[in-house]
Amino acid sequence: MTKQQLIQEIRAKRSFLCIGLDVDLEKIPEHLLQTEDPIFEFNKSIIDATHDLAVAYKPNTAFYEAYGLKGWKSLSRTIDYLNNNHPEIFTIADAKRGDIGNTSTRYAKAFFEDMNFDSVTVAPYMGSDSVEPFLAFKDKFTILLALTSNKGGLDFQVLTDEKGSTLYEHVLQVSSTWQNSQQLMYVVGATRPEYFKKIRKIVPDHFLLVPGVGAQGGDLVSVCDFGLNSDIGLLVNSSRGIIYASKGEDFAQRAREKALELQKEMEIILEKRSL
Amino acid sequence: MTKQQLIQEIRAKRSFLCIGLDVDLEKIPEHLLQTEDPIFEFNKSIIDATHDLAVAYKPNTAFYEAYGLKGWKSLSRTIDYLNNNHPEIFTIADAKRGDIGNTSTRYAKAFFEDMNFDSVTVAPYMGSDSVEPFLAFKDKFTILLALTSNKGGLDFQVLTDEKGSTLYEHVLQVSSTWQNSQQLMYVVGATRPEYFKKIRKIVPDHFLLVPGVGAQGGDLVSVCDFGLNSDIGLLVNSSRGIIYASKGEDFAQRAREKALELQKEMEIILEKRSL
C-alpha cells in the first residue's frame, strides 16, 4: 500500500483508528474456545464488526508466538483474511524486530512477503544496517520505535547528550537520513503528549503510530493537538479497550460500539481542523 | 540451567564456544533438500558432529521465521532435539525481542516454556518493564543487547551523555539494578575489543555473549584478553564459519574441524590463564 492510499482511506472513513489484535485465550468469549481456531474466529468477528470504522489492524506477534505453531497459523489466517477481504486496510505486524543486515532481511521477508503485511514495527537499537533492509521493500513501511508509552520507556529513550538532544530525538533525526526513509513511520506513545511538539519539529511529514490511548491512559485530544499534520499523519491504536469490551456473545457488537466512539471523536477532531 | 552448571560444562569441555544455527536453505548441502525437513536434518547433523566441542547453540529465529510455519516447526524440532539428547548444552533463542510488560511475558513464555530454551536475546530500548518479565523466569537467562558487532551499532549505542557515559554503558549500569539482574548476560560484539575493558568494569561477573568472531572479523585473543573473568564469563559465537565450512556431503565433518580449531584455541587460552 502507498502512503497516498492510506491517507485516502483515512479521509474516506473519517478515521485514523488502528485496532490492536492482541488476542489472549483467557480473555475471549468462552463459546469461541470450542471452535477449531479460536484466535482466528475471534479476529474474524472483530474485523467483520469494525472494518468500516478502522483504517488499520495491528496484531502483536507476541500474543501469537506464545501459542507456538498454532498461534502462527492463527496469525497467518488473520492476515490472509484481511488481505483477501479488505485490501484497503493497512496492516501492521507489531513485532519489534531488528537484527544485523542479512538477518533483518529475513525478518522483512517473513512479514512483507511470506505474510504480506503492509508494515512492521522495528527496534532502532542496532542502527542503520538493522533497519535499512526493511526499508528496501517497495510500498512497505517500517515503523521505528521512537518514544514508547511504557514506564521503562524513560530508562534510555530520554537519555540526553552533551548538546541537549535525547536518544529518541537522535533516532528520529538519524533515521531520517537513511535510504528510503520516506517509508518510515514512528511509534510514539500517547502517554507522552508533551513530547509530540518536539517530535513534529523533527519529523513533520511522517506518520506516527500512537499506542496507549484508553487502557494505558493516553488522551486522544492532546495527541491530536500536537500530532496531526496536513496529511493527518496519525494512526491511533486501541487494543484492549475495543476487543475486550465484552466477554459475552455480544463481544463483536460491543467492540463495534467502542470503535465507533473513537471514530466519532476522530471525525469531530478532523472536522474542527478542516482536515 | 544454572550459571554454575554452565561454568562446569565450560571447564569440562575446555570450550566456551557457541555455534550459531542460522540456517539458510540456499547454503546447505543439496542432498539435504530432498529430506522432509532439511533445516532440522542440517541442524541435527551439525549438532551430532560438534556437541562435544561446543557448550551452547544459538539459532537465530529470523532464519526460521523467514520460512513461515515450516520454519517454526524446524526450530521447535531443533530445540527438542537438543533438550532431549544434550540437556547439558546451553540453548539461546537469538530473537532480540522486547515489548511492554504483559507482551514481554508472552515472548518469555514462548521461548522459555513452550520451546524450553535456556535463554533469549532481548533489545533494551524499551527499558526495565520490557526486560524484567523475562528475568522473572527461574534458571533462565536474558541476554541483553549492549554493544553489537554491526556497523550501525555505533549509530546510537555510543551516544554520549553530559557526563561522558555512553548509551551502552547506561544499559549495562541501569540493567544491573533490575530485579533478578543476576540472570542477565550481555551481547558484546567481537569487533569491538577496545570496549571490553570498560564493559568488564561495569559488569565484572556477568557472562558476555560475543558474536562476530570469524566471518565478521573479530579476533578471539583480543576478546579474551579483556573479556575473560574468573568464571570464564564468555560465550563466543561462530555461525557461518562453522556451519557452512562445506556445502558437500562432508559438511558435518568439516564443521567439526572448524569447531575443533576454535575449541583448541580456547583450550590454549584457558590453559595460559590457568582457568
Per-residue pLDDT tens over the stretch B7-18: 999 999 999 999
Neighboring chain A residues of B127 at a CB cutoff of 8 Å = 148, 150-157
Alpha helices, DSSP H, located in chain B: 3-13, 38-50, 61-65, 68-85, 101-108, 128-135, 153-156, 167-175, 193-202, 220-227, 240-243, 251-272
What is the per-residue pLDDT for B177? 97
Distance in angstroms (rounded) separating the CA atoms of residues B127 and B98: 9
Degrees to nearest 5, angle at CA B236 with A99 and B81: 80
Q: What is the mean pLDDT of chain B?
A: 95
Q: Which residues pair with A190 in a beta bridge?
A: none
**Could you write out the DSSP letters of every residue in A184-198?**
EEEEE-TT-HHHHHH
Cβ separation B156–A149 shorter than 8 A = no
Question: For B19-51, how does the pLDDT look when each residue is reduced to its tens digit (9 = 90+)?
Answer: 999 999 999 999 999 999 999 999 999 999 999
Establish, for the pair of chains A and B, how many residue pairs have beta carbons separated by less than 8 Å: 174
Predicted pLDDT of residue A194: 82
In angstroms, rounded to a whole number, what is the distance separating the alpha carbons of residues B163 and A160?
Answer: 10
| Gap from B108 CA to chain A (nearest CA, Å) | 8
Q: How far is A9 from chain B (nearest CA, A)?
A: 29
Residues of A tagged active-site = 96
Tell me what pLDDT residue B215 has.
64
CB < 8 Å to B62, chain A: 97, 99, 103-104, 106-107, 110
d(CA B275, CA B251): 32
Q: For residue A212, what pLDDT is reported?
A: 83
- Radius of gyration for the alpha carbons in chain A, expressed in angstroms and rounded: 18
Long-range CB pairs of B27-33, under 8 A, 24+ apart, other chains included: B27/B244, B27/B247, B28/B247, B28/B251, B29/B246, B29/B247, B29/B248, B29/B249, B29/B251, B30/B247, B31/B249
Does ipTM come in above 0.90?
Answer: yes
Return the pLDDT at A216: 67
Q: What is the pLDDT of residue B101?
A: 87
Does A127 touch chain B if contact means CB atoms closer than 8 Å?
yes
Is the distance from CB of A101 to CB of B132 less than 8 angstroms? no
pTM higher than 0.80: yes
Chain B residue with minimum CA distance to A149: B100
Cell of B32: 539435504
pLDDT at B102: 86
pLDDT of residue B53: 98
Compute and round to an integer the Cα radius of gyration of chain B. 18
The partner residues of A209 in beta bridges, in order of sequence, read: A187, A235
Asked if B62's CB is within 8 angstroms of A104's CB, the reply is: yes
Q: Tell me, what amino acid is at A108?
A: A
| Residue from A118, A25, A115 nearest B71 by CA | A115
Cβ contact, residue pair A66, B127, below 8 Å: no
B152 CB burial (10 A radius; 0-12, 13-18, 19+): buried
Q: What is the pLDDT of residues B235-256, one digit of tens each?
A: 999 999 999 999 999 999 999 9
Choose from B37, B60, B78, B96 for mutation: most chain A CBs within 10 A.
Answer: B96
**Catalytic-residue membership of B96:** yes
Are the Cβ atoms of A152 and B145 closer than 8 angstroms? Answer: no
Residue A69, min C-alpha distance to chain B (Å): 7
pLDDT in tens, B68-126: 889 999 999 999 999 999 999 999 999 999 999 889 999 999 999 999 999 999 999 99
What is the rounded CA–CA span in Å between residue A147 and residue A172? 10
One pLDDT digit (tens) per residue for chain A, 275 residues: 999 999 999 999 999 999 999 999 999 999 999 999 999 999 999 999 999 999 999 999 999 999 988 999 999 999 999 999 999 999 999 999 999 988 999 999 999 999 999 999 999 999 999 999 999 999 999 999 999 989 999 999 999 998 999 999 999 999 999 999 999 999 999 888 789 999 999 999 999 999 988 766 678 999 999 999 999 999 999 999 999 999 999 999 999 999 999 999 999 999 999 99
Which residues on chain B are in Cβ contact (under 8 Å) with A154?
127
pLDDT tens digits for range B176-225:
999 999 999 999 998 887 899 999 999 999 999 999 887 666 789 999 99
Using a CB-CB cut-off of 8 Å, the residues of chain A touching B145 are: 125-126
User: Could you tell me which residues come within 8 angstroms of residue A248 by beta carbon, excluding any fewer than 6 positions away?
Assistant: A29, A254
Pairwise CA distance, residues A58 & A43, whole Å = 11
